[in-house]
Amino acid sequence: MDFWLELVELYEYKVQDLTEGRVPRGGRRGLAVLRDELLGAPLEPPLLRRLMETDRQYRLHQGNPVQHTRPRPGHGGQSTWTAPPTADSEESRAWEELQLLQWHQRAAAQARDLTLRWQREPEFGHLRVLYTVIENAERLSRPGTQPLAVPPAHDALMDLHDPEVTGRLAQALSALLLTEDGRTRVRAALSAVHAEPFPRHPDEDVLAARIAAAEREHVSHEAREALVRALRAEFPLPRDPRERPAIRAAARHVAQLLDPILDALPKPSLNGAPQGSILLAQHAGSAMRVPDDGAERLTVFLRGGSGARWRGLNIEWQPIGPNWQLQVGSQLTLLRPGLPPHERSQTLKLPDQQFRAFVSGAYMTLVVESHTALELGRRASTARAAALLLNPAQDFAFLRLARAAAQVMRGGPLQLEKLTPDSARKYLDATPDVLLSFARKGVETLVARLTRVGADDAAQAFRRAAQALGLHRVVADRLHAALHIALHDPETMPEGVPVTQVDLAPGGHFTSVVLSDEPLTLHVEGRGVTIRWDYKGELVVMMPGLAPMVLHDLLVARLPGGNLLLVRHGSWLGAALAPDVPVPTLEAAELSTDDIRMN
């Protein structure tokens, strides 16, 4: 960073010399070389603003003022009619690619949501199928490679409990879905996994022949058995055929969930961009007269002007070499059309809304991302982590583990005398609102500490704390994963629906509702939960056998065997039924990880 700062300051001095009539040190050629280097540099936004202001002075001095929006030609005089763009035109290709990039961004978010949901399964069945499909789809691009068998549950080399690992799986899947060849290979790999989860090893016949030869050797029985064991050790053990039905069922379910994602793929258009769809377009048929402030997206031909106003914000852009500098309100970013397609989007966060910009050549699409959905997703992830801490199993083991992990990450000694099972009695006596407030504060404290610690160091801290408390490491992994998601990868909430009756499924995923003046009834495992506005304008949750509870932004209501999670932002409410997870102790350490069952 200091290197680029010095170069920007040097550029400022040289431009100042030039504008004041002096020959810049190093000559004009040296100034031009320095300018080209800086315009392609990965500068931070504050430094980029300084460069742009200085470069503006340079271009004004060179007689090349900033380009303004060009006026549209009138109808008088010579005809300005141009032929409509064909499917092979630059505009049509850019329009189709921008639609594909937007679909890919939605597909990537849906893939991430699926992996987060599947990570809560006891045997990671869907994740193991997905891992195998991705690996085999990539192997299909390399002829001659052998397909991978579906790995066993809780394979130590896979770390499917780690949210970073599942995040990379979602990214790999979305990258494959971006191309037609990748989508074809994903479908082929998924069909192959369903047909045969455990492909036959190519050297099975060789192994059988070697074993038969070893059994004919004239040696002692013990030596013959040792030789056979040595031969078998070179090959993977055969898998239990009883696993096949469950894996095939998971493969069918993965295919069913991927089908709607693939069906939403944009279809190619014979006529190019729709009429009136592109601001400052070259062709009159696709040109938009003025930006629509009520629309959720805006597509612009960047070479057609230098600025526009949309949704109350000033939007300005200018070319910087092969790239485009974009400013939306107070936020500045650099769009790079030369990057791979899945990297050609940028997020711009403003105080009251958020945009995502996609670029294809000289065309850009700005999409409004719902601030409500983002905030609700953060609260949903916080609620899910707080629900873990409220699990009373093993004397509130998760809550005690959270306190122990905080001590470890602070670098101080573990005060085990304050973390004994007897210390948890006060939690049983606390009222639900006090206990929730304590759990939520614990989540926020740990999330703040995770921002200052690497993921691997944090995982080790949680495992060390769990060992000191006599808990199995899967408990530590579960709590660390929930906090990691709350910090780095909050849940994506589905679009809210205006209804008054909702049946909550026990799977743990959220349902979104747009609240109205009418009461909302949630059907939760045979009981009705009513949510309504009271005379004071507060949102009240009423459950049989419990006192009314006020829902501000987040509420975790204890139920037999689980928790009802409620999150709210304005009139948008999210609800989920999260079951409790088992809390194994170190007494289970002698068991293999395959035997640990987690919901």
pLDDT digit string (tens) for 396-437? Answer: 999 999 999 999 998 878 888 888 888 888 888 888 889 999
Nearest-angstrom CA–CA distance, 547 and 527? 15
pLDDT digit string (tens) for 357-400? Answer: 999 999 999 998 877 788 888 899 999 999 999 999 888 999 99
Would you call 416 helix, strand, or coil by DSSP?
helix
Report, as an integer, the average pLDDT of 128-155: 87
Nearest-angstrom CA–CA distance, 173 and 230? 38
Nearest-angstrom CA–CA distance, 355 and 575? 26
Percent of the chain residues past pLDDT 90, beyond the cut? 34
pLDDT at 574: 93
Q: Of 344 and 64, which is predicted with more confidence?
A: 344
pLDDT at residue 67 above 90? no
Cβ atoms within 10 Å, residue 406: 17
**Helix residue spans in 542-590 (DSSP H):** none
pLDDT at residue 543 above 80? yes
316 — phi, psi (to 5°)? -130, 150
Report, as an integer, the average pLDDT of 219-247: 74
Closest CA to 401 of 380, 381, 368, 424: 424
* Rounded alpha-carbon distances, angstroms, from residue 457 to 157, 469, 480: 18, 19, 11
Tokens representing 135 are 């690996």
pLDDT at residue 597 above 60? no
Could you tell me the pLDDT band of residue 63, with boundaries at 50, 70 and 90?
Answer: low
pLDDT at 567: 93
DSSP 471: B
pLDDT at 270: 66
Nearest-angstrom CA–CA distance, 110 and 510? 14
Lowest mean per-residue pLDDT among 75-79, 126-130, 285-289, 568-572 = 75-79
Give rounded-to-5 percent helix, strand, coil for the chain. Answer: 45, 15, 35
Contact 512, 495 (CB under 8 A): yes
* Sign for the pseudo-dihedral over CA of 570, 571, 572, 577: positive
Contacts of residue 344, Cβ cutoff 8 Å, sequence gap at least 6 = 101, 335, 336, 337, 358, 359, 360
The β-bridge relationship of strands 554-559 and 562-569 is antiparallel
pLDDT at 79: 45
Cβ atoms within 10 Å, residue 392: 16
> What is the residue whose two structure tokens read 């592109």?
278
pLDDT at residue 2 above 70? no
Tokens representing 212 are 């038969």
Closest CA to 569 of 518, 493, 508, 499: 493
> What is the residue whose two structure tokens read 């007494």?
587
Nearest-angstrom CA–CA distance, 446 and 405? 8
Contact 419, 394 (CB under 8 A): no
Report, as an integer, the average pLDDT of 189-195: 91
pLDDT at 592: 44
The β-bridge relationship of strands 527-533 and 539-542 is antiparallel
